[in-house]
Amino acid sequence: MSLPAFSSSLSSSSSASSSEQASGCAHALAPYGWDEAWAAEFAPYTDQGLLPGRVVRVDRGQCDVMTAHGIVRADTAFVTPHDPLRVICTGDWAVLEAHGNPRYVKTYLPRRTAFVRSTSSQRSEGQILAANVDHAIIAVSLAVELDLGRIERFLALAWESGAQPLVVLTKADLVPDPVTLGHLVEDVETAAPGVQVLTVSSRTGEGTDVLAAVVGGGTSVLLGISGAGKSTLANTLLGEEVMDVQAARDVDGKGRHTTTTRNLLALPGGGVLIDTPGLRGVGLFDAEAGVGQVFSEIEEYAQRCRFHDCAHEAEPGCGVLAALASGELAERRLDSYRKLLRENQRIVAKTDARLRSEINRAWRLRSAEGRANYAAKRRGRA
């Protein structure tokens, strides 16, 4: 990946007034998302002689930061807290020392949005993948069978982050039959209510103009598993071969991790793109609101339930079960909804002692009820 060269001459910045520096930053960093709101957030640091910059890549305790003077390699030693959600990440707006070698990131501006997943750690920690994202582009390859459950999982994390999700079905040229393609789009639209679904082919150019228009404003992050075509899509949007591309396996459509770090790139038509490595695991992390957004129709059916704490299992007067019985609600959707809620509850319970106690209490009550029912049945047979 090619990045602009960094100019070592900063004599002009040291002698410029605060207003001149702010004006220069506004002009040079605008392609990377700098606006008046970010300038207002940064105002307290201006008089301290500190510089703003957008983090374009993080690796090994250091990061590349795009400043008004070009790319700066900076150390993140000042912003390495014990909380993994507060470490600096791609997309952050850094507060950077103006001079010195090495440079240091002193802090970063409050995040507008943050895309977070749970790690594979037994401690149920969250991992932040990207910050200050406006659009979460979920890339799904049409070269393999659709996994609607995985799409719903990505959507839950995207909604929870505060970004607007968008599902992009890549490699559309591999489905030449328009009727078949239409059915696949309908299936995804059912799993993604309120979300735009685009079919795109980087080979033929189908849909790329629409996608470019969507990402032309704000910051977008590309998400998906290996082999989904994210790097190819990034190159198409960039108009040049910036990201390396590797072929996916014919057997399952999976590919090796072409992208190994999260990289932030300014698009020629406007907007900013963050390309991410393929995600093997997409664990939820305190994403109850996001799950509710993905399954908004189930949340609406739940409003019809007789009891406000209905678990939608076997309760009388359950609006969700009534929708299931009438065919309004697909059983696959309800199963997926229950699965993601249970997973999210387990994650939250590991860090919330009160919730963990409530879950254990509910489990003991259900166990006692089950034993009582079993005992009653045995007495009836005796």
285: pLDDT strictly greater than 50: yes
Give the Å distances, CA to CA, from 111 to 134, 158, 304.
12, 15, 37
266: pLDDT strictly greater than 80: yes
List strand residue ranges (DSSP E) for the chain, in order: 51-59, 62-67, 70-75, 93-96, 103-108, 114-118, 126-131, 135-141, 164-170, 196-199, 219-223, 263-266, 272-275
Q: How much is the average pLDDT of 31-59?
A: 93
Q: Give the integer Cα–Cα distance in Å for 65 and 359.
A: 45
Measured distance between the N- and C-terminal CA atoms of the chain, rounded to whole angstroms:
77
351: pLDDT strictly greater than 80: no
262: pLDDT strictly greater than 50: yes
Q: What pLDDT is recorded for position 241?
A: 67
- Residue 219's DSSP bridge partners are 272
pLDDT-wise least confident of 77-81, 132-136, 241-245 = 241-245
Instruction: Count CB atoms within 10 A of the CB of residue 229.
Output: 28
Question: How far from chain centre, in Å, is Cα 332?
Answer: 24
20: pLDDT strictly greater than 70: no
Q: What pLDDT is recorded for position 258?
A: 47
Q: What pLDDT is recorded for position 365?
A: 60
Tokens of 154: 């990505």
Q: How confident is the model at residue 11 (pLDDT cuts 50, 70, 90)?
A: very low
Q: What pLDDT is recorded for position 9?
A: 37
Q: How confident is the model at residue 101 (pLDDT cuts 50, 70, 90)?
A: confident
Residues with Cβ within 8 Å of 58's Cβ and at least 6 positions away in sequence, in order, are 64, 76, 88, 89, 90, 261, 262
pTM of the entire predicted model = 0.79
CB-count exposure of residue 174 (10 Å: 0-12, 13-18, 19+): middle
211: pLDDT strictly greater than 60: yes
The overall average pLDDT reported for the chain is 81
Q: How confident is the model at residue 25 (pLDDT cuts 50, 70, 90)?
A: low
Q: What pLDDT is recorded for position 239?
A: 85
251: pLDDT strictly greater than 80: no
Instruction: Count CB atoms within 10 A of the CB of residue 241.
Output: 11
Q: What pLDDT is recorded for position 276?
A: 84
pLDDT-wise least confident of 28-37, 112-121, 150-159, 269-278 = 112-121
Q: What pLDDT is recorded for position 287?
A: 78
Q: How confident is the model at residue 319 (pLDDT cuts 50, 70, 90)?
A: very high
Q: How confident is the model at residue 350 (pLDDT cuts 50, 70, 90)?
A: low
Q: What pLDDT is recorded for position 363?
A: 47
HSE-CB for 273 with a 13 A CA cutoff = 29
100: pLDDT strictly greater than 60: yes
Q: What percent of the chain has pLDDT over 90?
A: 50
DSSP conformational letter for 174? G
pLDDT digits (tens, 9 = 90+) for 170-190: 999 999 999 999 999 999 999
Residue 52 · residue 25 · CB < 8 Å: yes
Q: How much is the average pLDDT of 20-34?
A: 75
59: pLDDT strictly greater than 80: yes
Cα dihedral 34, 40, 42, 48, rounded to 10, equals 130
Beta-sheet pairing, 103-108 with 62-67: unpaired
Give the Å distances, CA to CA, from 353 to 102, 346, 359.
43, 11, 10
Residue 85 · residue 114 · CB < 8 Å: yes
pLDDT-wise least confident of 3-17, 30-44, 365-379 = 3-17
Tokens of 147: 């996994």
Residue 292 · residue 109 · CB < 8 Å: no
Q: How much is the average pLDDT of 259-288?
A: 79
Q: How much is the average pLDDT of 72-83?
A: 83
pLDDT-wise least confident of 123-137, 212-226, 280-294 = 280-294
